[in-house]
Amino acid sequence: MGAEFVALSLPPLLIGVFAAVACALPGNFLLLRRQALIGDAISHVVLPGIVLAFLITGSVAAWPMMIGAGLAALITVVLIEVIRRVGRIEPGAAMGVVFTAMFAGGVLLLEQSDTSGVHLDVEHALFGNLESLIWLDAEGWASLLDPVALAGLPHELPRMAIALALIAALTWVFWRPLKLSTFDEGFAQTLGLPTGVIGLGLVIVSAIAAVAAFDAVGSIIVIAMFICPPAAARMMTNRLEMQVAWSVAFAVLSAVLGYVLAGYGPRWIGFDNAVSAAGMIATVSGVILAVAAVFGPCRVREGAAAG
Amino acid sequence: MLIEALTLQLGYNATLVTIGATLLGLTAGAVGTFLYVGKRALVSDAISHATLPGIGLAFIAMVMLGGDGRALPGLLIGSALSAWVGLLCVSWLTYRTRLTEDAAIGAVLSVFFGAGIVLLTVIQSMRAGRQAGLEDFLLGSTAGMLWNDAVILAVGGAIVLGLVLLLHRPMALVAFDPDYATATGTDVRRTELAMMGLALAITVVGLKVVGLILIVALLIIPAVAARFWSDRVERVVLIAGGIGGVSGYAGAAVSASAPDLPTGPIIVLMAFGIFALSLLFAPDRGVLAVFLRHRRFQARVHVRQGLLALAQGQPIYERLTLRLMRRAGLIRADGVATETGKAQAARALLDERRWEILRADSRHEWAAARYDGLTPLERVLTPDQLVELDRSLRPEGV
């Protein structure tokens, strides 16, 4: 647990934890508002966004891709809303129409354009490349205090940290209006809260989390972290404050345990190749949800028969 | 190339794939309608993502038993089993815990998919797994498809279509009104199970062509598009089947006609194109129809108000009103009423007075409810009733 750990495992581990928590925070509110699948939709449309950004700028630099993905997420949300209102279609179906079509468009663009020279493919967008985010300049724990070595950190790490800080700050500042409008939209309106703006803001924050996270960890973790930790936390408590705390704890646990199991687990049972960390993190979050759903103290809906 | 592909002249395999995709689109459209009407469209997203671990496990099992891990029937059976487990998880989470269905769907699809990815990386590290090509199931791939696989696809599509034809009546009943279905003696639970089973079958058959990420589009988009064209469930099912079939057929043909045109995305984009056309141009529910109806209504309100103003000798300033009345020949360019204009204005005023009396009279309560400021009273009352009503008009004079 020395130099090798700091160089090879610490950065991906931290990125995984940051990404998981950044998605779980807005996920709590999406879950309670019955918008859980918006994270699913957003993470699918990230693909056409990054492909278009690549075709326009011709590079795989981070910022154009983030902007492209963000724009695609915004367009999706607007399109879903337009189709839902104009066509009077139920939200789930409107979502299904929009995100599948945009994902299909992204795949087609990708196949049609010449991306052989760069690392851009569907699998990357789905699973990310958490394992490859290593810190070559690190020589041990002391490197954490060395500015020269720190400059060589994978750039996903500071980006994810900033996104997490932003999301945590926004959640903290807007806690009261968020809570009110989530539980009782009518009451929030009579208090004069702009519930529509709050709802849109929540979706935009979710999009920020999804877009910042997909690059490092792929969309599969994004979807899992939006839903599984908050859903497991909901089985543990009836209070929103406690639920958010539980969800953060579950998200951290999934990320750490998943990463360790993926990286070291196969070696323990005799395989020599590591397995996908993104997939393992999602799997662990699912196991946590399953355990919470079977044993959690608040797992049953009030008034429903105990199962 | 495209013409050859559309007329099925690109060799046996391409032809079989096209036929299979057409059948798949047909059945997916029809079954998707029942899911959509029952507001369960996105359950199919969980089903399709949940197939991945089954594919991986089936591959590993077949290799361990000494067979060829890529045998399509085995992979399809494995995918069906794990999709079934995923479906059970969704319904268990929805009914036995406080989670709502959308959260259950999201949890199941992401966790099963994540587990599937883990299995894929395990397979890649196995010696037999280097060229397993299981990634093809993510986005579908019909290039280099074996003859046997194409036959399985076409036959599978045909069987599911037959089952849909057999079960469509109870499924429509249950999707629309489960309570009424129960009252008339339909087994709701079993029918819902059959519906989900068919969605599952379509997903499994479609894995190789469309891929598990996009198969949900074939279940949702044709149904939503078809809903614009009719309000009757039997017709929506037929139209959705048609849209799905056309998308599958044209998509498979276009994709076969040139390289770098992946089948699944092309089929989905075809369906989306038809959806966009339906959204814009469908009669009655389409955007264009709604807009035109709104404009016609607006014009009627403006002309009516203009006529009332003419009859009472008030000046009209509103531009749209002036333009509409000029075009209808009710006023001249300088704003003075023409003969027709005067006649119609008098009629409008008379109608308005009649309505006023009618609404003040409690005996005509039922008719008064139909007052919208536009409908002429002649359409509501019989001539006899009108004569009766006009008696109370006379003392004031018109």
Q: What is the ipTM of this complex?
A: 0.91
For residue B221, the chain A residue with the least C-alpha distance is: A97
Instruction: Give how far B40 is from chain A: nearest CA, Å.
Output: 8
CATH code: domain of residue A55: 1.10.3470.10
Report yes or no on whether pTM surpasses 0.80: yes
Contacts of A281 in chain B (CB under 8 A): 114
Residues B226 and B236: beta-carbon distance below 8 Å: yes
Q: Nearest CB to B110: which of A31, A228, A271?
A: A228
With CB atoms and an 8 Å threshold, state whether A307 touches B287: no
**How confident is the model over A144-201, as pLDDT tens digits?**
777 777 777 787 888 889 999 999 999 999 999 999 999 988 899 898 888 888 988 8
Instruction: Give how far B34 is from chain A: nearest CA, Å.
Output: 12
With CB atoms and an 8 Å threshold, state whether A97 touches B272: yes
Contact residues for B139 (Cβ-Cβ < 8 A; gap 6+):
A107, A122, B211, B213, B214, B262, B264, B265
A126 versus B301: which is more confidently predicted? B301
Determine the pLDDT at residue A306: 46
Q: From residue B139, how far is each of A33, B81, B212 by CA, in Å? A: 31, 20, 6
A92: pLDDT confidence band, cut at 50, 70 and 90?
Answer: confident
Report how far residue A149's alpha carbon sits from residue A137's, in angstroms, rounded to the nearest whole number.
Answer: 5
**How confident is the model over A122-156, as pLDDT tens digits?**
777 777 777 777 777 777 777 777 777 777 778 78
Least confident of A288-302, B215-229, B236-250: A288-302
For residue A97, the chain B residue with the least C-alpha distance is: B221
Q: Nearest CB to B117: which of A88, A90, A276?
A: A276
Determine the pLDDT at residue B398: 45
With CB atoms and an 8 Å threshold, state whether B135 touches A123: yes
Residue A52 belongs to some domain of the structure: yes
Determine the pLDDT at residue B135: 77
For residue A106, the chain B residue with the least C-alpha distance is: B265
Q: Kindly report each contact of residues B161-165 with a partner whose C-beta sits within 8 Å and lies 24 or more positions away, as own/partner.
A: B161/B23, B161/B26, B161/B27, B161/B30, B163/B194, B163/B198, B163/B201, B164/B27, B164/B30, B164/B31, B164/B198
Determine the pLDDT at residue A139: 72
A7 versus A91: which is more confidently predicted? A91
Determine the pLDDT at residue B129: 60
Mutation for testing the B interface, residue in A85, A97, A302 having most B CBs under 10 Å: A97
**How confident is the model over B186-195, as pLDDT tens digits?**
888 888 888 8
Q: What percent of chain B has pLDDT over 90?
A: 31
Mutation for testing the A interface, residue in B34, B45, B117, B267 having most A CBs under 10 Å: B117
pLDDT at A83 > cutoff 60 = yes
Report how far residue B345's alpha carbon sits from residue B342's, in angstroms, rounded to the nearest whole number.
Answer: 5
To which residue do tokens 């950004």 refer? A53
Q: From residue A185, how far is each of A42, A85, A176, A208 by CA, in Å? A: 24, 19, 12, 24
A186 versus A115: which is more confidently predicted? A186
**How confident is the model over B271-293, as pLDDT tens digits?**
999 999 999 999 888 889 999 99
Any idea which fold B2-279 has? ABC transporter involved in vitamin B12 uptake, BtuC (1.10.3470)
With CB atoms and an 8 Å threshold, state whether B42 touches A34: no
Contacts of B99 in chain A (CB under 8 A): 231, 234, 293
Determine the pLDDT at residue B297: 92
Q: Nearest CB to B118: which of A37, A105, A280?
A: A280
pLDDT at A307 > cutoff 50 = no
Report how far residue B11's alpha carbon sits from residue B207's, in angstroms, rounded to the nearest whole number.
Answer: 22
Residue A267 belongs to some domain of the structure: no
Residue ranges of chain B that CATH labels 1.10.3470.10: 2-279
With CB atoms and an 8 Å threshold, state whether A272 touches B111: no
Residue A281 belongs to some domain of the structure: no
Q: For the residues B6-14, what does the mean pLDDT come to?
A: 72
Determine the pLDDT at residue B378: 80
Instruction: Give how far A270 is from chain B: nearest CA, Å.
Output: 12
> Cα torsion for A57, A58, A62, A66, to the nearest 10°?
50
Least confident of A159-173, A209-223, B43-57, B232-246: A209-223
**How confident is the model over B195-204, as pLDDT tens digits?**
899 999 999 8
With CB atoms and an 8 Å threshold, state whether A282 touches B110: yes
With CB atoms and an 8 Å threshold, state whether A94 touches B262: no
Q: Nearest CB to B265: which of A107, A234, A273?
A: A107
Residue A74 belongs to some domain of the structure: yes
Average pLDDT of chain B is: 86
Determine the pLDDT at residue B122: 86
Q: For the residues B231-245, what does the mean pLDDT come to?
A: 91
Question: Could you tell me if A227 lies within 8 Å of chain B, comparing CB atoms?
Answer: yes
User: How many domains is chain A built from?
Assistant: 1
Tell me which residue range forms the domain holding A164. 3-214
Q: List the beta bridge partners of residue B331.
A: B337
pLDDT at A207 > cutoff 60 = yes
**How confident is the model over B19-72, as pLDDT tens digits?**
888 988 999 999 999 999 888 888 999 999 999 999 999 999 998 888 777 788
Alpha-carbon torsion B154, B159, B165, B169, what sign? negative
With CB atoms and an 8 Å threshold, state whether A100 touches B109: no
Contacts of A95 in chain B (CB under 8 A): 42
- Identity at B381, one-letter amino acid code: L
Question: Could you tell me if A122 lies within 8 Å of chain B, comparing CB atoms?
Answer: yes
With CB atoms and an 8 Å threshold, state whether B224 touches A127: no
Determine the pLDDT at residue B107: 94
Q: Which of residues 39-98 of A touch B (CB under 8 A)?
A: 39-40, 44, 83, 86-90, 92-97
